[in-house]
Amino acid sequence: MPTADFFPLLLAVPLLPLGAWLLQVLFGSRLPRGGDWLPTGAMLGAFVVAVLLFLRAWGLDDEYFVWSTSATGGGHGWKWLVSDPAFREGLAAFRAGLWYDAWTAPLLAMVAGVSFLVHLFSTGYMKGNSRYSAYFAGLALFSFAMLAMLVSDNLLFVFGFWEVMGLCSFLLIGHDSLDRDNPRPRAAAAAVKAFLTTRVGDVALLLGLAMLWNGFGTLQFHELQVAVPEMIERHQGWPQWLETAGLLVFLGAVGKSAQFPLHVWLPDAMEGPTPVSAMIHAATMVAAGVYLMARAFPVLAPGVLALVAVIGAFTAFFAATIALTQDDLKKVLAYSTISQLGYMIAAVGMGSPDGALFHVFTHGLFKAGLFLGAGAIIHACHHEQDLRLLGGLRKRMPLTYASMLLCTASISGVPFLSGFYSKDAILGFAADTWSQGAGPAAYLPLALLVLAAPLTALYMFRMFLLTFSGEARSEDAAQAKEVPMPMSVPLILLGLGAAVGSLLWIAQPHPTESGHTTATLLAGVSLVIGLGAALLFFQFKKASPARASAAFGPFTRAARGLYGVDHFYQAAIVVPSKLIGRACAGFDRRVVDGAVHGLGKLAIRAGEQLRRAQNGRIQSYIYLTYAGLLALTLFAVWRVS
């Protein structure tokens, strides 16, 4: 265990954007330039600190290292519920701390770096936006939450910051719905959809945490790592509740990382400004689900892992087929993100959280590069993002072209670029699992992942070639100009990152090492198939894409219709729950409140009936009086006898 104290620097990483956010909310609109330099500067600071930490950790030890406040005696813990250290009932015993290990180190640097670049890019992209300061406040708060999540040492705080990210995602997706000049009401709908869909997973995750806490009395990573094997040993197997808990935790990741069947929110989230898509919906927040799965890996039972692998691999394939049919630049990237996240989730499911996080790391770099490139294109083409109307941008935007080429090649798995290594790690692990004879449960994910690999190359190069090669197919594309200074820097840097970023990960020792000839072979063949097909269709025009898609007739139509998942949810969940809500409200008004009013009316009616006796005639009173007397007498006689 390294003795160096990471505490102050580690705390500074999330606190810098937090402070920037606070200042931005309070004074942002009154500062020069809308205060954009405040979060941007803070992110630069956070990035520098994260790199410093990374270097310090790198030089520290050549074994897989872990540093945490909780594991090193808890001098700095945050006693959250009751501050008295002697008070240890329930969650009062819970103490939150910081955590820094070989997974956190590169991810923290990657997230801080990408966030900084997105901030920088946004200063150009969002120029003139009517809610410029609010936008930067949202970005800063998001960066804080993501960084804080990465340095948390327990599942409860991971969940907490995870939810705050959800809020920021919600606000930023909906950002354009409040634009002064060009409001997009659909952005508001997309924001709500994104939050609610992920909320399904979040609630499940919270239940999972409740089960874990009641089972183990802790939510700290390092304590769970010890407690779970003990529990299994005591039980001689995985207790059923623990399997359920693992499943619930996985559901949380399904929502956040947009896995089937909760993937529907991510394509809609593209309504947000493109830098937001780059940061939140590609590089960082959606990868949080994978991060959670990696951290919660000890509590995932084998049965759950099998399901995780199948869901992840299925999502990877399923989303790739949809990406192939999309004509919107950002939608292609969105489905590509879903597909890549599927790879990562599948990696966790097959038992390689390390491979998954490696892919999170490289994917963060090249997908952010792709989205920022898309942002540059959209910016240059006056918000035209239909692939059918772009084209020929290679000469007009050479810098963007170069950056996106690197990123596209990287995601497609061109050898010696970042994506190649991380995908290789995953496929290698999958092949490994299979070759060890793990049965059909391991065979299915491998098959799906291998099928998805050439599709990835195909849809990515389809998008790339339709955008950059050939002739401009619209006025906007024909008049595009390369983006100016603050936006071009992030493109260059992310392009470089996409090329060589993986070195940073590989440089550090990790619990599982990767590299497989089978996998490399598989990846190479996939790349050749996918890239070849893309070139044939879209560069040399030797084959007609229309005829190819016609050959897959019903399949294409289904993919274009997103396999009906959205429609299904609309019909099976949204509409019925609204109807039930209306029925409940009607029930409340008519039956529950009606009963109360009915009781009131009954009293009034009864009074109306009784007042008839009050007719003012003395003689009828006399009758009544004696009738009452008689009744009382009879009653008395009956009681006595």
91 binds other proteins (CB under 8 A): yes
Measured between alpha carbons, how far is 317 from 225 in angstroms, rounded to an integer? Answer: 32
Q: Which is nearer to other proteins, 166 or 413 (CB)?
A: 166
Write out the binding residues for other proteins, residues 235-254 only, by CB under 8 A.
Answer: 239-242, 244
Amino acid identity, residue 414?
V
Considering only residues 380 to 419 of the shown chain, the ones binding other proteins according to CB under 8 A are: none
- Is 301 a binder of other proteins (CB under 8 A)? no
Q: Could you tell me if 299 and 242 are in contact, meaning their C-beta atoms sit under 8 angstroms apart?
A: yes
Nearer to other proteins, 214 or 479 (CB): 214
Within 8 A by CB and 6+ apart from 70, the residues are 77, 95, 97, 99, 153, 154, 220, 222, 223
Residues 477-492 as b/e (b if ≥16 CB within 10 A, e otherwise) read: beebebbeebbbebbb
Give the C-alpha separation, 35 to 28, whole Å: 5
Among 5, 8, 85, 183, binds other proteins (CB under 8 A): 183
Q: Can residue 155 be called a binding residue for other proteins (CB under 8 A)? A: no
In whole angstroms, how close is the CB of 42 to other proteins at the nearest point? 19
Q: Could you say whether residue 27 binds other proteins (CB under 8 A)?
A: no
Min dist CB 307 to other proteins, Å, is 19
68: number of Cβ within 10 Å:
25
Determine, following the binding rule CB under 8 A, whether residue 578 of this chain makes contact with other proteins: yes
Give 398 or 586: the residue with its C-beta nearer to other proteins: 586
Q: Which residue has the tokens 């692939």?
A: 387
540 near other proteins, judged by CB under 8 A: no
In the window 117-146, what residues touch other proteins (CB under 8 A)?
Answer: 130-131, 134
Place of tokens 């009641």: 214
Which backbone phi and psi does 86 adopt, to 5 degrees?
Answer: -80, -15
Task: Give the number of other Cβ atoms within 10 Å of residue 189's Cβ.
Answer: 15
Look at residue 66 and give its three-state secondary structure. Answer: strand
Quick check: 206 binds other proteins (CB under 8 A)? Answer: yes
By CB under 8 A, the count of residues binding other proteins is 84
Do 455 and 530 contact (CB within 8 A), yes or no?
yes
Residue 9 burial (CB count, 10 A): 15
Q: Which of residues 33-52 bind other proteins (CB under 8 A)?
A: none
Q: Which of 4, 11, 15, 29 binds other proteins (CB under 8 A)?
A: 29
Q: Which listed residue (156, 254, 346, 387) binds other proteins by CB under 8 A?
A: 156
Taking the complex as a whole, the smallest distance from the CB of residue 133 to other proteins amounts, in Å, to 9
Judged by CB under 8 A, the residue of 47, 161, 297, 538 near other proteins is 161
The DSSP symbol for 78 reads E
Binding test (CB under 8 A) with other proteins, winner from 214, 479, 544, 633: 214
**556-588 burial code (b ≥16 CB/10 A, e <16):** beebeebbebeeebeeeeeeeeeeeeeeeeeee
Tell me whether residue 83 or residue 517 sits nearer to other proteins (CB atom).
83
Report CA torsion sign: 360, 362, 366, 369: positive
- Of the candidate spans 66-74, 99-107, 193-201, 380-388, the one that interacts with other proteins by CB under 8 A turns out to be 193-201
159 or 459: CB nearest other proteins: 159
User: Using CB under 8 A, which of the segments 73-81, 309-317, 338-346, 437-445 binds other proteins?
Assistant: 73-81
The answer to whether residue 524 forms part of the interface with other proteins (CB under 8 A) is: no
189 near other proteins, rule: CB under 8 A: yes
Contact call for residues 319 and 335 (beta carbons, < 8 A): yes
231, 279, 345, 409: which one binds other proteins (CB under 8 A): 231
Residue 160 makes contact with other proteins by CB under 8 A: yes
Over the window 589 to 618, marking each residue x when it contacts other proteins by CB under 8 A and - when it does not, the resulting string is: ---xx-xx---x----------x--xxxxx
298 lies in the site for other proteins, by CB under 8 A = no
Residue 232: CA atoms inside 13 Å, Cβ hemisphere, count? 14
626 lines the binding site for other proteins (CB under 8 A): yes
| 608 CB-near residues (< 8 Å, 6+ apart) | none
Nearer to other proteins by Cβ, of 388 and 589: the residue is 589
216 lies in the site for other proteins, by CB under 8 A: yes
